[in-house]
Amino acid sequence: MRCLKLAIPALILTTSTIAEAKPISYVDGIMVMQENDETGHTITADYTITPNYAIGWYSKEEENGKRFSEHGPEFNSLIKRWNLPDGQVNIFNSTGAGVAIDGSRNRGMAWTDFLADYETRRIFTSYEIKAMYADSIESSIWQRARVGFAPYAANYNDVATWFMLQVDDHPNKNDKVVVTPIVRFFYKTSLLEAGYSSANTLMFNWELQF
């Protein structure tokens, strides 16, 4: 929710706490992520050019309200990072433009997304806000917050386990506010997380970095 080619201890810190696939991985790395939740199904692929910038492709099938799809390239950036004695704070942005498809209607669209997080090897918090404009198909602002903890501090060769609570605010969806308990497993550069939401839907996400 997916940094630099660092030594293993730093890599543990920056990758074992990934949420919603951070939009930047390590230089020359490729990251593929797929998300399934009450809002629909998303797949993204990103290539990291420098420690601060990545380019990628975003596609989503929207549900739980208007049913349409979104497709287009996006540009991801690390706006700011603070390295703390036992943790890290990050601010990311993803901005893109493409096409929204609603049956026989095609409309140009654009979006921008800001993600801020604070993480240690045992605690995680994040806030994300996304604005999207697709002419007459839909224009909306969406928010997400997460808090989580790890029952143990995993080493690089261990499977990291996280328990999280996610709250979504989607004013344009049928289920406007949704709460989802989540369990996440992370091993080296692979992530798997699942949960069951207050909207009675299964959330299932995975991510791979190459």
Residue-wise pLDDT for 51-63, tens only, equals 999 999 999 999 9
Answering whether pTM is above 0.85, one says yes
Higher pLDDT pick, 149 / 23 = 149
What contacts 136, CB < 8 A, 6 or more positions away? 105, 107
Report how far residue 185's alpha carbon sits from residue 155's, in angstroms, rounded to the nearest whole number.
13
8 three-class SS? helix
Residue found by looking up tokens 């550069």 in the block? 189
**Side-chain-facing half-sphere of 25: CA atoms under 13 Å:** 24
Residue-wise pLDDT for 162-187, tens only, equals 999 999 999 989 999 999 999 999 99
156 three-class SS? coil
Could you tell me where the DSSP H helices lie in 32-118? none
Q: Write the CATH number of the domain with boundaries 2-209.
A: 2.40.160.40
Mean pLDDT, the chain, whole residue set: 89
pLDDT range class, residue 4, cuts 50, 70, 90: very low
CA 48 to chain centre: 15
Residue found by looking up tokens 């991801």 in the block? 76
* Residue of 70, 93, 89, 76 whose CA lies nearest to 25: 76
Task: Inform me whether the pLDDT recorded for 16 exceeds 90.
Answer: no
Residue boundaries of the structural domains of the chain: 2-209
* Residue of 82, 102, 80, 67 whose CA lies nearest to 173: 67
Cβ 26 vs Cβ 5: under 8 Å: yes
